[in-house]
Structure 1
Amino acid sequence: MTLRYALLASATMMVSAGAHAADAGWSADHDVAEHGSGAGPAAPAPASKTFSTGVAKGRDLLDSAISATSLDEDEVQRLGVTSTAAIIGSLPGIRVETTGTDGYSSMTVRGLPISGDGSKYLQIQEDGLPVLELGDIHFAGVDTFVRADLSLSQVQAIRGGSASTFASNSPGGVINLISKTGEVEGGSVRLSAGLGYDLKRMDFSYGAPLGHGWRFHVGGFYRVGEGPRHIGYNAYSGGQVKLNVTKEFEGGYIRFYGKYLDDREPDYSEYPIAITGSNDKPVLSSVAGTNVMRDTVHTKYTTSGMGMDENNNPTIIDAREGIRAISRSAGLETQFELGDWTISDRFRYASNGGAFNQAMPGIVAPAAVIGGIVAHGPASFAYATGPQAGQVIADPATLNGNGLLAMQIEIHAKLRKLDHVANDMRATRVWTLGEGKLTTTAGLYAARQSVDTMYIFGNSILAIAGRSNAALVDVFAADGTALTQGGYASFGMGVIAPPSTVHRRYDLQYNVLAPYASANYQLGRLAIGGSVRVDRGRVNGTLYGAELGGGRNGVAQVDVNHDGVISVPERAVAILPLSQPGIIDYTYRYVSYSAGVNYRLAPEASVFARYSRGGRATGERAMFTSMIDLATGGLADPSSSHAPIKQAEAGLKLRKQDVSIYVTGFWASAYENDFQVGADTNGNTVTWNVHRDYSAKGVELEAEAHRGPYHLKLGATYVKARIDSDRDDASNVGHKPRHQPSLLFQARPEYATTLFNVGAQVSGQTSSFAQDSNLLKQPGYVIVSPYLFVRPVARLELGLNAFNVFDKLAIVQLGAGAVPASGIATAQVINGRTVTGSLRFNF
């Protein structure tokens, strides 16, 4: 069956479902009231909850051999963050590297490695279908195209287990953002604003029954402002609207839904940081004249860049677009009874596009050092942008009080088409077998992911200054020859980042067809189950890259700024050899399976064990690497078509009147064939290939306790991870993977009454290594974020969130392999203290 016919057949079944539809939801989560009280009083004692993500049929967690967590709307509000990645990072077992914006985050689970940005082993879903089929597409992280607002009912997360067989490309787990659907009439409007920084936001949500089995929900948000860091313009601008309409029938329902998202956020990536001390105990602080937690290399003087487009035409790049997401999606969802079978189907088409703009300091050093690299000898400098443009810098050694310049890697990507269409159809039946019940499920998943993107690298020279005063700088040789143009040292030629040319376009299609099945037999207190999935895929398309031109065909003289003069950087500009594309055409196939057993020790306790094997199809990060034979379009090594992941877990679940405790021990093994960007011992940006085996083992804890108005929620994950083999660098064998702490933890104590809620979200991690060489340690940290919600009158709530209230310097990633002799490195850090006030009206 081809993908086209599979999608057509599934869509036809959905349309015909109206004649048979009966009243039964896909999950029990859709009965959440629309007019909740915001933060509300303390939650009741732990109760039975149906969990529906990554499993065949929604069940009470005590009857399921899985590790799972859910967050409701009120819990999300208490976190004091709005980015999808930061919300996901509050879940036990999940490690997220983010600075609080969507689109440039890294996510993984239970010690599985992070080679680059994105979510390689975790699948992020919205209402049960993937946001993108591949979570680590270059410059298009899956969190780029999904947002959290008041239309969000619940976040469900399954770690390991059956996730690998009930979703494609999800061996590590599935995170599902579930929308409200209007069961109860009511809604909310929330206005929020930064206190001490410029960011204003409006969220809204409303849903209601319409009669005769119809109901609807609409929600969304809009925001605008500079944001919590000094950038000099409205770096945040945009929002989304989501709408769904449901028709219930006897025994089922059919739902129509849509979303429009157009939002931009800044990229808070690496920034210069002062580093002294030893590799074991580095001392980190802001560079003179800057604040690493509040400044960024993007400023009001760096908003316009130059480069080449996909047709080799010079173009002006608007860096204010930052990380831009545009998504238009529409879908159908249905469930109905057909004899003794329950038929369920979901279909969605999403048209995705946007842009990605990043400036990453590759080398930060005194001006004379940067000048020597560019000029190969003595150099002089002048401002290229800002109010002093054209003015000679008389004393570079004292420039901005620190004398530092950064040779930056500027990345400008156009996300032309990242459309995703998917359909997931399944049939479930419960059979009486002896004294027990056998639940069987058969399903078919079909999807197509387009990847049509273009990106070009450039190198620019930036004078390091705080409070949005950083400007680009031109460099001149001893004889006065200008070696840069408008602050740019190269256009697509990668002066400091290999390969030597970086101007590329992908035009690819990933087609997936995956049948799956499961069986679960429950006999009294014992439940035994297993599932299997066969993923088949085809990847085809074309690649265009400056390095594919052969000889000098990928390099040309181009008057990039149209001034009629070919400057030094314009003598060698990376262009796409449009008549010499690389061909991509290969297929892959892999089998995933999972088996587990659950035993209900008592009404309030159970134990479980599970073993799983899943896979993650090789994505577009394999392009332009030795994994692809561009002459034939095939894989140089067919075994590299996917990354296999093996996992085992066993746990205890206890849920009593006032307390619930879930403890899980786990083991995972992974093979990684990728590349990563890192830093050498001097703090210089470098890239290298990764061909490694990893393993991880540990323990995961999730607990919750209530006593009167007191409420405490805890989460912790202890991981012992190691590199078991490394084909490219045997010295890494036995080392811990970079950025992997031994312990991650979360805690949320709260005191709640009908008048107010007061509490704090506490999260942190122990130290980790900055690079796989295991020399330089990244310090651990604890972030404390208190909150207060007061309800002085009915339907009105006033809120105050203080993220990182103690202004802790928390390192996400440190761009050095050892303490550099220069005392300067780069780091990506969590935002400093950010206080937000809100007013919410419920109706």
Structure 2
Amino acid sequence: MLPAFAHAAPSGPEAAVAKPGALVAPVEEAPAKKVAAEEVFSTGVAKGRDRLDSATSTSALKADEIEKYGARSLGEVLRNIPGIRAEYAGGEGNASYSIRGLPLASTGSKFMQLQEDGMPVLEFGDMQLFTSDMFMRFDLNVAQVEAIRGGSASTFASNSPGGVINLLSRTGDVEGGAVQTTLGLNYGEHRIDADYGHKLSDTLRFHVGGFYRQGEGPRDVGYDAYKGGQIKFNVTKTFPNGLIRVYGKYLDDRTPSYQPIPLKVSGTNASPVFTDVPGIDIKTGSLLSPHVDTVLTLDGSNAIKRDSARDGQHAVVKSAGFDAQFDFGGWSFSEKFRFSDITGRNMQNVPLGIAPATALRGAIGGAGATLIYATGPLTGQAISSPSTLNGNGLLASSLFFDSVANSLQNVSNDMRVSRVWKIGKGDLTTTAGFYKSSQNYDIDVSILNILSDVRGGGDAALIDVTTGSGVKATQDGYISFGYLGGRLHRQYQVNYAIDAPYGSINYHIGKLAVGGSLRYDSGHVNGTVSGSELGGGRVGVAAVDINGDGKISIAESKTAVLPLGNPGKVDYNYHYLSYSGGVNFRIAEPLAVFVRHSRGARAAADRILFTPAISAASGLLVDPTSGFDTVKQSELGLKFRQSGVTLNITGFSATTSDRNAQINTRSDGSTQIEDIVRGYSAKGVEIEAGVRRGVFSVTAGGTYTSAKIASDASHPELIGNKPRHQARFLFEATPQIDTEHVTVGANFIGTTSSFAQDVNQLKLPAYTLVNAFLQVRPIAHVQLMVNVNNLFDKLALAEITQGTIPASGIVLGRAYTGRTVSATARYSF
């Protein structure tokens, strides 16, 4: 089997002349154990071409290499691509992704687009609570993952100035299939995968596959938090001059959302020591529990509804599309279309503050207040010793996020034509295209305030507070059925329409290729939003009899309502130009160098709704420049590929503007959601290498980044600081031994230290995670595999909410899961 980056040399759209008919390269034709003489790449480029003849940085991960990583989520796959920052401790959705030092101020992938088969999953990768990775899965349908960093990503896809990551499906080029089952040996997972491809004739083939899984998952939550699966299919008809492919996907899957939990911190900000709070293990624990389940709130029509927190991140996708590619008289034509009906729900239990039970008891119920279990096996029982509760004496005031995606419907179409012209002794490649899309953002968000104990193992319970006079200050564990007087109880009914013509030219003569590309995005945003934050006399709180007992409790008097009769308008346009130009020089057959400069942008999307950037009365942008954020990048690279050795070195620099919203803490340590308007700069070096000698191979990648906050409208004191979570050095390496019957190796993932928040005080420690794998093929068609993730059960922190060590010595944080072991049996046919 090839190492993960044995194919990975930089490539691009304008740096070489593509062969006629090579509009998009097939991904399954090359035998798995033979290095192709010409390595073709097709994502984010004008035409598929050999990577050494192009002026961008790209990588490709083959499916048979990805399976060795034992990835439990898409983030665990993407973390193995050089230059990619992937923070996925929250589970299989709403992870955070960025490229080469571009800011990662919040969740999602703002500057990087996630695609399936060349089309975006969502037009914007960082929509709040519903990000692209929530609606895509890695399974046996995937043939390989392609990634382009910088370069032409800004001109061959909208809203992707940092890069594009594309999951390419199997298409039946290779006949046969597989059935496999996976069992978590020390955690709850039962999963079955299957796929099959077949040629019905010389010109007609199909592929179908999918998975189903169920189980508690790698953390102790007390119920089956994972439940669901997907099925995908495609049918391809080939012709002498091209092909037509139709495809579809149905995804219905529930996964948990792991939010920060408390842990102890001692030492200093520069050298902190993090340890577990008694009663909850940060590597395996969570505040999720079957006893913290019932969610009572108001829906988008202000009607009472009851939901279950066990729904977690529930993604439902029904999509269909087609891909046509033809050559006519020297012209190459491509037409891609996809319609996706996307709905879902995201239930999150986010701790707002952790404090001694005695302190919260008094703060909520006053002097003489008592605590009583509101749910769980001890319901109705008084807590006689709050200071020793669960061995930690703590309670959590948390926010229940109940977010419903009524429609994230996405329709996109990408049409392009290309031709190669003979000009003198060289070839001129021209490409013109037009992209059009429509993205709905129709969601309802309710945020409730609850009180629970701090206990892991799926045993956490809601707590009631009764005043000294016997009046309940809470109701069934709810402090209020809203948050801060109805703040953040919102309704969005917005549509984003995009038209984007684009084009490129490239002249290739001998060893030299020079090219450039342009894209002009025009966007129209239209709709309404409802919420008390819009001001203008809009009321966000009322007294509502939530439990229907004919009485209004203290908690019910603080119920968040939507001011539906007075919505805010959204009605604005934006326009921006993207460009990219590069020069590639192939010094020799195995060696090339390139230089490139690019400018791209990302539309601001939902992050600027409910901010001063938009007038609620007119729906217009107050400042036309706030409709998008720009990214400028420069690259200088070297590429080498020969006799089983691959080496790519790219120096880069980037400047970025960013309007966003992030969760951080105030100076007093309390949690807040803050709108930010910032500029960032970054520079660094990216290295990617692969070596194969006989049965031994190793692939490795590393990214050194020096980044800083270049401007900040609200916090000038942060200028010059390093962005939070931005480490100096990220690395990954996978050595392995591969024989006919056995493959054994390990996947190393690591980072140097970084700062927890932009104030640059409390540090997140460096870590290295080791994931071991063993594959045994005892007989033909049978493979047995064992994966051990986090082999040494290392504490690796992904985030800390606090920027400094608080006086209490308790912070909120998320860590990557501890050691998990799985076994997989596969039969191929």
TM over 0.5: yes
CA contact (8 A) 2:247 2:320 kept: yes
Corresponding residue number in structure 2 for 1:753: 739
Question: CA separation of 1:256/1:363 partners in 2, compared to 1, >3 Å: closer, same or farther?
Answer: same
2:200 aligned with 1:214? no
Which of residues 427, 435, 439 is equivalent to 1:437?
427
1:551 and 1:727 map into 2 onto residues whose CA distance is: 28
Which of residues 295, 299, 324 is equivalent to 1:309?
299
Residues 643-668 of structure 1 show CA distances to partners (whole Å, capped at 9, x for unaligned) of 01000000100111031100000000
1:83 and 1:568 map into 2 onto residues whose CA distance is: 42
CA contact (8 A) 1:189 1:205 kept: yes
Corresponding residue number in structure 2 for 1:95: 85
1:661 and 1:139 map into 2 onto residues whose CA distance is: 38
TM-score, length basis structure 1: 0.95
2:259 aligned with 1:269? yes
SS of 2:768's equivalent in the other structure is strand
CA contact (8 A) 1:680 1:818 kept: no
Residues 687-728 of structure 1 show CA distances to partners (whole Å, capped at 9, x for unaligned) of 222111100000000000011110000000000000111110
Which of residues 104, 107, 112 is equivalent to 1:122?
112
Which of residues 717, 725, 728 is equivalent to 2:711?
725
1:350 and 1:80 map into 2 onto residues whose CA distance is: 29
Corresponding residue number in structure 2 for 1:514: 500
CA contact (8 A) 2:280 2:286 kept: no
Residues 765-792 of structure 1 show CA distances to partners (whole Å, capped at 9, x for unaligned) of 0000001000100111100000000000
1:756 and 1:297 map into 2 onto residues whose CA distance is: 41
Which of residues 603, 606, 623 is equivalent to 1:617?
603
CA contact (8 A) 2:90 2:257 kept: no
Give the letter for the 2:235 counterpart: V
Give the letter for the 2:628 counterpart: H
1:736 and 1:376 map into 2 onto residues whose CA distance is: 43
Which of residues 92, 110, 126 is equivalent to 1:136?
126
Which of residues 5, 27, 31 is equivalent to 1:30?
27
Per the TM alignment, residue 552 of structure 1 is displaced from its structure 2 partner at its CA by 6.5
Question: CA separation of 1:93/1:325 partners in 2, compared to 1, >3 Å: closer, same or farther?
Answer: same
Corresponding residue number in structure 2 for 1:636: 622
Corresponding residue number in structure 2 for 1:651: 637
Tell me whether 516-525 or 79-88 shows the greater mean CA deviation. 79-88
1:178-327 to 2 correspondences below 5 Å: 178-327=168-317
Residues 474-520 of structure 1 show CA distances to partners (whole Å, capped at 9, x for unaligned) of 1122222211111111112237xxxx522111001100000000001
Tell me whether 326-335 or 682-691 shows the greater mean CA deviation. 682-691
Corresponding residue number in structure 2 for 1:108: 98
2:261 and 2:380 map into 1 onto residues whose CA distance is: 25
Which of residues 333, 348, 352 is equivalent to 2:338?
348
Give the letter for the 1:629 counterpart: S
Corresponding residue number in structure 2 for 1:400: 390
Corresponding residue number in structure 2 for 1:155: 145
1:340-489 to 2 correspondences below 5 Å: 340-489=330-479
Task: Identify unmatched segments of 5+ residues in structure 1.
Answer: 1-21
Give the letter for the 1:51 counterpart: F
2:531 and 2:678 map into 1 onto residues whose CA distance is: 27
2:319 aligned with 1:329? yes
CA contact (8 A) 2:53 2:513 kept: yes
Per the TM alignment, residue 400 of structure 1 is displaced from its structure 2 partner at its CA by 0.7
Corresponding residue number in structure 2 for 1:15: none
SS of 1:687's equivalent in the other structure is strand
1:438 and 1:164 map into 2 onto residues whose CA distance is: 22
Corresponding residue number in structure 1 for 2:784: 798
CA contact (8 A) 2:426 2:508 kept: yes
1:819 and 1:303 map into 2 onto residues whose CA distance is: 32
Per the TM alignment, residue 572 of structure 1 is displaced from its structure 2 partner at its CA by 2.4
CA contact (8 A) 2:28 2:143 kept: no
Corresponding residue number in structure 2 for 1:57: 47
Give the letter for the 1:724 counterpart: A
Corresponding residue number in structure 2 for 1:823: 809
CA contact (8 A) 1:23 1:252 kept: no
Per the TM alignment, residue 32 of structure 1 is displaced from its structure 2 partner at its CA by 4.1
Per the TM alignment, residue 376 of structure 1 is displaced from its structure 2 partner at its CA by 5.0
Question: CA separation of 1:770/1:378 partners in 2, compared to 1, >3 Å: closer, same or farther?
Answer: farther
Tell me whether 167-176 or 567-576 shows the greater mean CA deviation. 567-576
Per the TM alignment, residue 551 of structure 1 is displaced from its structure 2 partner at its CA by 4.0
SS of 2:26's equivalent in the other structure is helix
2:807 and 2:368 map into 1 onto residues whose CA distance is: 22
SS of 1:369's equivalent in the other structure is helix
Corresponding residue number in structure 1 for 2:819: 833
Per the TM alignment, residue 571 of structure 1 is displaced from its structure 2 partner at its CA by 0.9
Give the letter for the 1:509 counterpart: N
SS of 2:607's equivalent in the other structure is helix
Corresponding residue number in structure 1 for 2:767: 781
Per the TM alignment, residue 831 of structure 1 is displaced from its structure 2 partner at its CA by 0.6
Give the letter for the 1:30 counterpart: V
SS of 1:688's equivalent in the other structure is strand
Give the letter for the 1:347 counterpart: F
Tell me whether 85-94 or 432-441 shows the greater mean CA deviation. 85-94
CA contact (8 A) 2:531 2:563 kept: yes
TM-score, length basis structure 2: 0.96
CA contact (8 A) 1:681 1:820 kept: no
CA contact (8 A) 1:647 1:666 kept: yes
Question: CA separation of 1:249/1:820 partners in 2, compared to 1, >3 Å: closer, same or farther?
Answer: same
Per the TM alignment, residue 377 of structure 1 is displaced from its structure 2 partner at its CA by 4.6
Per the TM alignment, residue 276 of structure 1 is displaced from its structure 2 partner at its CA by 0.8
CA contact (8 A) 1:125 1:175 kept: yes
Q: How many residues align?
A: 811
Corresponding residue number in structure 2 for 1:545: 531
CA contact (8 A) 1:331 1:346 kept: yes
2:490 aligned with 1:490? no
Corresponding residue number in structure 2 for 1:668: 654
SS of 2:547's equivalent in the other structure is coil
SS of 1:165's equivalent in the other structure is helix
1:662 and 1:378 map into 2 onto residues whose CA distance is: 68
CA contact (8 A) 1:25 1:253 kept: no
Corresponding residue number in structure 2 for 1:686: 672
Residues 299-318 of structure 1 show CA distances to partners (whole Å, capped at 9, x for unaligned) of 11112121111110111121
Question: CA separation of 1:217/1:710 partners in 2, compared to 1, >3 Å: closer, same or farther?
Answer: same
Residues 729-786 of structure 1 show CA distances to partners (whole Å, capped at 9, x for unaligned) of 1110110000100000000000010011000000010000001000100111100000
Give the letter for the 1:225 counterpart: G
CA contact (8 A) 2:531 2:538 kept: no
CA contact (8 A) 1:627 1:636 kept: yes
Per the TM alignment, residue 573 of structure 1 is displaced from its structure 2 partner at its CA by 1.3
Residues 617-640 of structure 1 show CA distances to partners (whole Å, capped at 9, x for unaligned) of 111111111111010010111111
1:454 and 1:681 map into 2 onto residues whose CA distance is: 31
2:475 and 2:528 map into 1 onto residues whose CA distance is: 33
SS of 2:317's equivalent in the other structure is strand
Residues 197-244 of structure 1 show CA distances to partners (whole Å, capped at 9, x for unaligned) of 110101111001101510000011000000111111110000000000
2:153 and 2:810 map into 1 onto residues whose CA distance is: 43
Give the letter for the 2:133 counterpart: D
CA contact (8 A) 1:519 1:529 kept: yes
2:318 and 2:52 map into 1 onto residues whose CA distance is: 38
Give the letter for the 1:601 counterpart: I
CA contact (8 A) 1:683 1:826 kept: no
CA contact (8 A) 2:494 2:526 kept: yes
SS of 1:86's equivalent in the other structure is helix
CA contact (8 A) 1:46 1:658 kept: no
